[in-house]
Amino acid sequence: MAVKVIIPTPLRAYAGKQASVELQAATVAEALAALTTKFGDLKKHLYSDDGRLRSFVNVYVNDEDIRYLQKDQTRLNEGDTVSIVPSIAGGARN
C-alpha cells in the first residue's frame, strides 16, 4: 500500500530534512521499518535500545492513535497517512 508518513519537525533533521515520505507498507510496523531503513539516524529517536517505540512518540494512522488500533500491526490502506507525533515543549534550555 502506498502511504504517506509525516515526519514531525524535531525529527526532520534525521530524515533528510523532509516533512513527509511516501512509502510502501502493509502495516505500521512495515512503514516504520521502511522509514528507519531509509533513514538510519531516525532509529534511535523512534526506538529505545530494547526495540520498542519510545513512549514519548505516538503514531497515528489517519487520525487514530495506533495504541487504540492494533498497535504496530495496524493494517494500512492505500493513501493512508501515518503521523509520528512526539511530545514537544518549546522554550527552555534543558
- Site residues, another protein (CB under 8 A): 8-10, 13-14, 19, 41, 45, 54-56, 58, 60, 63-65, 67-69, 83, 85-94
Name the minimum Å distance from CB 64 to another protein.
6
User: Minimal distance in Å, beta carbon 2 to another protein?
Assistant: 19
| CB 91, min distance to another protein, A | 2
Please state the φ and ψ torsions of residue 27, each to the nearest 5 degrees: -135, 170
For another protein, which is the closer residue by CB, 2 or 88? 88
Closest CA to 83 of 69, 63, 68, 67: 63
Distance from C-alpha of 30 to C-alpha of 11, rounded to nearest angstrom: 19
Residues 69, 63: Cα–Cα separation, whole Å: 11
